Amino acid sequence: MSFEPFALHARVLSGVRAVGYTDPTPIQTQGIPHVMAGRDVLGLAQTGTGKTAAFALPILDRLVRDPKRGVTRALVVAPTRELAEQIHQAFGELGQATGIKSATVYGGVGMNPQIQAMNRGVDVIVACPGRLLDLLSQGHGDLSRVEVLVLDEADHMFDMGFLPDVRRILRQLPRDRQSLLFSATMPEAIRHLVDETLTDPVTVAVDRSAPAETVAHALFPVEAHLKTELLRELLRRWDARRVLVFTRTKHRAKRLAEKLDGGGLFVSSIQGNLSQRRRQEALDGFRRGDVHVLVATDIAARGIDVAEVSHVVNYDVPDTEEAYVHRIGRTGRARHEGDAVTFVTPDDADMVRRIEKVLGERIERQRLEAFDYDVPLPARLDADERRFQRGGIAGGGQRGGARVGGARGGGRGGPSRPPSGGGRPPARASSGEPRSSGGGRPSSGGRPSGGGSSHPRPQVVAPTPQHAGGEVGEGGRSRRRRRSRRGGGAGARD
């Protein structure tokens, strides 16, 4: 199916053509007709499904058909500045022939351009709740003529403690409006919000596993102190140009990026400490391909939308199984194929079990051929480096001589098949595959560990839909207060 049947305004359609979309994604096929018809819509969809265009195209259509100058007519509320920025860009690209303008409003950057945009009555405001409320309470902007409200990633807004702010914003909007709410999961709090916000909504649910069906998952059991070398070796063999690496903390993200950078490989990190400008620079570099490897924390990576991320590497396992689903959602997006590689130490066995439960499949263990898994933790290291190499957790990580869970005898009963019987070839670094001929210098360990070829190739599995979502993230405002209220979680450690 093409975009023609939606009967979008010609100038909106020309934007669709300009960005190169040929067929609508399932959330677009199902959602756009209802939004065009003016219905309130509850969209059960996660980032990566094409939900932004599902609401942006009908909004652009509405605004371009009946232009009004100097009036803010659509408000999109999103949990993070990255997501807000992406939505704003989507409006800019899809609406490039319409003359409709959008502006972002979020914390961490100067207020003046935002104040000017709000007071000018920009057509579409894409905002994070905290800064928007601040500016509204200072008397800037006027939301009394908003025709369409979008609450995006509502479950994340709940996770981040934004719902009270969202409700305060809702009070400033006219009752007579169209409301669209998108959420990957439906916790009780979001059900209440739906009841309060939407009138007679149509529910549109897409198979939330869809973007991840193109992802091949693999676990690499490894002692904590060998993770960096293993990653270096994988990066050499992949010769990959867009790899997203996740660490547990911002300190580890920064440090790992410094360690990996060099020798023709350009590596950046994004973490909560960076200014918005520095984050954007790193992201833009990654998008352009100038930065080959981006090391990020869960929080900083929220909403990263870079097409064609070839590999997601969980250098540290995530804190929750939901975070795993979110992390791997950064690859295999919009039908591109991707590999999700997770380093697991003996301490991670419990989380691995939980992740496998969510995926509904056992993830294949892999051993990299000719990589020396027996190099001990160097005796002489400064305290900081020792801590890093042990996994960054006091007392965690390396346990002298401990066997790496799952590495040996991998594959109880052999590798399982992809659920569909189809799928794509496994991760390129899979054991048993020849080393890439180009550019692969020997691992610094040198000594072959042996037995590599007996390890099975990774399987291709798709996560079950009902478990997506739930990542805890970072907001622009009152973070410390929110974290303590929510009792920490992944965000508290970033």
Nearest to ligand AMP of 25, 104 (CB atom): 25
64 binds ligand AMP (CB under 6 A): no
Query: Which residue stretch of 46-54, 166-174, 445-453, 464-472 sits at the interface with ligand AMP (rule: CB under 6 A)?
Result: 46-54
30 binds ligand AMP (CB under 6 A): no
307 binds ligand AMP (CB under 6 A): yes
Question: Do 468 and 322 form a contact (C-beta atoms < 8 A)?
Answer: yes
Nearest to ligand AMP of 322, 348 (CB atom): 322
Nearest to ligand AMP of 120, 287 (CB atom): 287
Minimum distance, C-beta of residue 438 to ligand AMP, in the bound complex (Å): 29
Judged by CB under 6 A, the residue of 6, 21, 158, 286 near ligand AMP is: 21
Minimum distance, C-beta of residue 46 to ligand AMP, in the bound complex (Å): 7
| # residues near ligand AMP by CB under 6 A | 16
Judged by CB under 6 A, the residue of 15, 31, 43, 48 near ligand AMP is: 48
Nearest to ligand AMP of 50, 318 (CB atom): 50
Minimum distance, C-beta of residue 371 to ligand AMP, in the bound complex (Å): 34
Query: Which residue stretch of 42-50, 136-144, 386-394, 424-432 sits at the interface with ligand AMP (rule: CB under 6 A)?
Result: 42-50
Judged by CB under 6 A, the residue of 12, 32, 42, 47 near ligand AMP is: 47
Query: Which residue stretch of 43-51, 342-350, 434-442, 452-460 sits at the interface with ligand AMP (rule: CB under 6 A)?
Result: 43-51
Residues 277-306 that bind ligand AMP (CB under 6 A): 305
53 binds ligand AMP (CB under 6 A): yes
379 binds ligand AMP (CB under 6 A): no
334 binds ligand AMP (CB under 6 A): yes
Query: Which residue stretch of 24-32, 107-115, 258-266, 403-411 sits at the interface with ligand AMP (rule: CB under 6 A)?
Result: 24-32
49 binds ligand AMP (CB under 6 A): yes
Q: Which residues bind ligand AMP (CB under 6 A)?
A: 21, 23-25, 28, 47-53, 305, 307, 333-334
